[in-house]
Amino acid sequence: MTLIKFGTDGWRGVIAEDYTFANVRRAAQGTAHYFAQHGARERGIVVGYDNRFASEHFAAAAAQVLAANGIPVLLTETGTPTPVISYAILANKTAGAINITASHNPGTDNGFKVRNEFGGAVDPNVLQEIEAAIPNDASGVKREASNVNGLVKKFDAAPAYLAHLPDLIDVAPLKNAGLHVVHDPMWGVGSGWLKKILDGGKTTVTEIHSGRNPIFPDMKRPEPIPPNTARLQETVPALKASAGCLTDGDADRVGFVAENGRFVNQLEVYALLAYYLLEIRGWRGPIVKTISTTSMLNKLGKMYNVPVYETGVGFKYIAPKMLEVNAMIGGEESGGFAVRGHMPERDGILMSLFLLDLMVQMNKTPLQLLDHLFSIVGAHYYDRVDTPFPPERNAEVRAKIASEKPSQLAGIKVVNINTLDGFRYEMEDGGWMLIRFSGTEPIIRVYTETTHRDKVQDILQDGLRLAGLK
């Protein structure tokens, strides 16, 4: 029996090893048990999927189990971006959704995400309820004909999302701006979306890595961070393009490349998006950030007199907090961001449009936007290292880190240790170093953000030493 546990964002596994049809049906049965108690038999459930190997077949298996439990299902008729699937919950007033996707994981993996009636990640308490309801074996799974009593209906989720888009952004100035944008959908379900939205004016969109290829060639994984961004970073300056945008495998995360090929890291992107909403759009409201993202947000919060709330890593923490405080924006270090008036769900398509709109409204290139941002909050430098390690060493490594109380990192004084999610060492310059265990893969991550460019790598190496991995 495979123990199905939901991590930072859903359950993920290796296809044909632990991610099997039998286990997907077990996960669907636990999800059906929960949602049946929360109006799903009357309101239905959306089931969607990405472009990974056999995702459509895993989605059909999940839909079959829901229908066998008497729950009507709206099943997407093709691979669909996660934000579009999540918006379909609101558009169709369903009780929630199951999304078959492993997001940015390697092509060997697939996954199972659950979304609530607001279109956001369900909170950890609900995930525990679902896990507890997952049967131990196939005998506990309700499974009947493929379309039980006509309860499974295929639909196109795109029209409702596109009809909602004008509520969030006026794309006319973008279409007429004459930009040349290179979009890298990373072989994922974001393929064609920016082109479709921005077609019809002077702006042109060129795509690379477009279409479906479940082995994700030319990259380690469909995650919009280096080294997976190398091709886009070469292409943008080669084509003399205005900017480059990346969306990950399920199009809920965004990456950004400047006109000279410089990768604009995720912390810089979050600060730019917050500045865009506060200064250009005139929005006001709380900012929600994870423990692993930028302190530039705290500086912007003070400048614009808006509160900043901090959570653990993952939208299972961010989404509930956004709803609780009616947040203007919520986001995390991985490149996922959500905004008020939409849903508490990451949306790489919308965030790409916001970044392009910031360029147009301020008449600045991406590099000029970064210079402008740093003139306001000061320059910040960031990096992260991911190190695989055997899961059986988890307790040992945690114990070692917990026993360490460093007084300084790379010569900078440590003033506080925050254990909200992992171990974050806060330094006197306002910078920080975080050590935490991935919730989706057997790796340990060490992150840092500092105002000292020359200290970044030294801080990361100190972090690896604290964990006994150096």
Residue 239: Cβ-neighbour burial (10 angstroms; 0-12, 13-18, 19+): middle
Instruction: Decide: 356 and 174 in contact? Cβ < 8 Å.
Output: yes
Interatomic CA distance for residues 109 and 201, integer angstroms: 39
Q: How many domains does the chain have?
A: 4
Same domain, 203 and 342: no
Range with the poorest average pLDDT among 3-12, 44-53, 449-458: 3-12
Domain boundary among the residues 138, 162, 186 is at: 162
Query: Is residue 36 domain-resident?
Result: yes
Same domain, 78 and 43: yes
Same domain, 45 and 141: yes
Query: Is residue 367 domain-resident?
Result: no
Quick one: tokens of 391?
Answer: 């899961």
pLDDT-based confidence at residue 145 (cuts at 50, 70, 90): low
Same domain, 21 and 103: yes
pLDDT at 389 > cutoff 90: no
Query: Is residue 110 domain-resident?
Result: yes
Q: Which residues pair with 10 in a beta bridge?
A: 7
Same domain, 141 and 179: no
Query: Is residue 412 domain-resident?
Result: yes
What are the pLDDT digits (tens) for 232-258?
999 999 999 999 999 999 999 999 999
Largest Cα separation within the chain, whole Å, is 68
What are the pLDDT digits (tens) for 337-371?
999 999 999 999 999 999 999 999 999 999 999 99
Same domain, 319 and 192: no
Same domain, 80 and 157: yes
Pairing between β-strand 432-437 and β-strand 423-427 as defined by DSSP bridges: antiparallel
- Give the pLDDT of residue 1: 74
Same domain, 190 and 228: yes
Domain boundary among the residues 162, 192, 215 is at: 162
Query: Is residue 435 domain-resident?
Result: yes
pLDDT at 442 > cutoff 90: no
Q: What is the CA radius of gyration of the chain?
A: 22
Instruction: Decide: 264 and 371 in contact? Cβ < 8 Å.
Output: no
Same domain, 436 and 454: yes
pLDDT at 147 > cutoff 90: no
Same domain, 273 and 321: yes
The CATH number of residue 385's host domain is: 3.30.310.50
Same domain, 134 and 20: yes
The CATH number of residue 313's host domain is: 3.40.120.10
* Average pLDDT, rounded, for the chain: 95
pTM for the model stands at: 0.94
Instruction: Decide: 190 and 81 in contact? Cβ < 8 Å.
Output: yes
Domain boundary among the residues 131, 162, 193 is at: 162
Query: Is residue 365 domain-resident?
Result: no
Query: Is residue 315 domain-resident?
Result: yes
Same domain, 155 and 221: no
Q: Which domain holds residue 122?
A: 11-162
Interatomic CA distance for residues 81 and 55, integer angstroms: 13
Mean pLDDT of 143-158: 84
Interatomic CA distance for residues 364 and 352, integer angstroms: 16
Estimate the share of the chain in helix, then strand, then coil, as percent rounded to the nearest 5.
Answer: 40, 20, 40
Q: Which of 147, 150, 141 is nearest to 24 (CA)?
A: 141
Residue 175: Cβ-neighbour burial (10 angstroms; 0-12, 13-18, 19+): middle
DSSP string, 174-216: HHTS--EEEEE-TTSTTTTHHHHHHTTSS-EEEESS-S--TT-
Query: Is residue 362 domain-resident?
Result: no
pLDDT-based confidence at residue 146 (cuts at 50, 70, 90): low
Q: Which residues pair with 423 in a beta bridge?
A: 435
Helix (H) or strand (E) holding 298: helix 296-304
